[in-house]
């Protein structure tokens, strides 16, 4: 059982949609010359974000997923990152965009970038919906960030607390009662 909590809205569904539209514009410019962009969602937290993002990208896209272990069911990050599910497709010589929900310590994204870079993509960029810069323990930075947020535990828009609240349409802050 998790401790009782309430969720306070931090970023509205409308703000998220507006930000994604702006980010998609920048991504389209960066990958303007691509014949096909491989958009890689990191499971499970990015599933809502990737769904909205790809629908704003009028590029030829292929969608793939990768799952790396991070929190388990707790609120503490782990330094050891394991790949639980690898990509189905090859990325050698291709344009790749990795889509992450939150960059916290940065260990997850750092590990994934090193792994994918070793497969020699033509171009490898990253986008994170949320960034908690004060929590960083690595020197990783996403190519694009939706919103910088303070050190708060958040849920919604695909992001969970112990597998709950992924279906909220907004980003909310967890407050224990
Ligand atoms: P990092 O490896 O510490 O950067 O952790 C990144 C992963 O931790 C993200 O992909 C999230 O799944 C998870 N995470 C980090 N902060 C939060 C949060 O506030 N709520 C829910 N999950 C989080
Ligand atoms: Mg998670």
User: Residue 21's pLDDT band (boundaries 50, 70, 90)?
Assistant: very high
The alpha carbon of 74 and the centre of ligand 1 are apart by a number of angstroms equal to 10
Strands, E, within the chain: which ranges? 5-11, 37-43, 61-68, 83-85, 95-103, 123-131, 144-148, 154-155, 171-176
- pLDDT tens string 138-151: 999 999 999 999 99
What percent of the chain is predicted at pLDDT more than 90?
Answer: 90
CA pair distance 169, 47, nearest whole angstrom: 12
> Does ligand 1 have an atom closer than 6 angstroms to the CB of 159?
yes
Cis peptide before 92 (omega within 30 of 0): no
Say what the pLDDT of residue 2 is.
72
CA pair distance 119, 121, nearest whole angstrom: 6
Q: What is the pTM of this model?
A: 0.95
CA pair distance 1, 11, nearest whole angstrom: 27
**Residue 162 domain flag:** no
**Residue 53 domain flag:** yes
Ligand 2 (ion): residues with CB under 5 Å are 45
* Mean pLDDT, rounded, of the chain: 95
User: What domain range includes position 95?
Assistant: 18-28+35-151
Say what the pLDDT of residue 79 is.
74
**Residue 146 domain flag:** yes
**Residue 140 domain flag:** yes
**Residue 112 domain flag:** yes
CA 161, 168, 137, 125 dihedral sign is: positive
| Closest-lying ligand 1 atom to the alpha carbon of residue 68 | 10
- pLDDT tens string 70-107: 655 556 666 788 999 999 999 999 999 999 999 999 99
User: Residue 34's pLDDT band (boundaries 50, 70, 90)?
Assistant: very high
Say what the pLDDT of residue 72 is.
54
Say what the pLDDT of residue 74 is.
59
pLDDT at position 30 over 60 = yes
Collapsing DSSP to helix, strand or coil, 101 comes out as strand
Say what the pLDDT of residue 78 is.
65
**Residue 98 domain flag:** yes
Q: What's the number of domains the chain is made of?
A: 1
**Residue 174 domain flag:** no
**Residue 51 domain flag:** yes
> Does ligand 1 have an atom closer than 6 angstroms to the CB of 104?
yes
User: The CATH number of the domain where 111 resides is what?
Assistant: 3.40.50.2020
> Does ligand 1 have an atom closer than 6 angstroms to the CB of 131?
no
From 18, 7, 19, select the one nearest 130 (Cα to Cα).
19
Cross-strand bridge partners of residue 99:
41, 127
Collapsing DSSP to helix, strand or coil, 49 comes out as helix
151 is catalytic: no
| Beta carbons within 8 Å of 14's beta carbon, 6+ residues apart | none
Segment 13-20 shows an average pLDDT of 98
| Beta carbons within 8 Å of 119's beta carbon, 6+ residues apart | 90, 91, 92
């Amino acid at each position: 059982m998790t401790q009782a909590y309430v969720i306070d809205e931090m970023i509205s569904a409308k703000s998220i949609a507006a930000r994604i539209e702006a980010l998609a514009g920048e991504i389209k410019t960066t990958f303007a010359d691509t014949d096909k962009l491989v958009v890689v969602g990191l499971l499970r937290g990015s599933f809502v974000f990737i769904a909205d993002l790809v629908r704003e990208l009028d590029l030829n896209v292929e969608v793939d997923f990768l799952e790396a272990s991070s929190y388990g069911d707790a609120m503490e990050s782990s330094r050891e990152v394991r790949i639980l599910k690898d990509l189905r497709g090859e990325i050698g010589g291709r344009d790749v965009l990795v889509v992450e929900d939150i960059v916290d310590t940065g260990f997850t994204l750092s590990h994934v970038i090193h792994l994918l870079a070793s497969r020699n993509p033509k171009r490898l960029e990253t986008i994170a919906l949320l960034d908690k810069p004060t929590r960083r323990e690595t020197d990783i930075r996403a190519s694009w960030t939706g919103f910088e947020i303070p050190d708060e535990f958040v849920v919604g828009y695909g992001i969970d607390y112990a597998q709950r609240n992924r279906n909220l349409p907004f980003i909310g802050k967890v407050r224990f009662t």
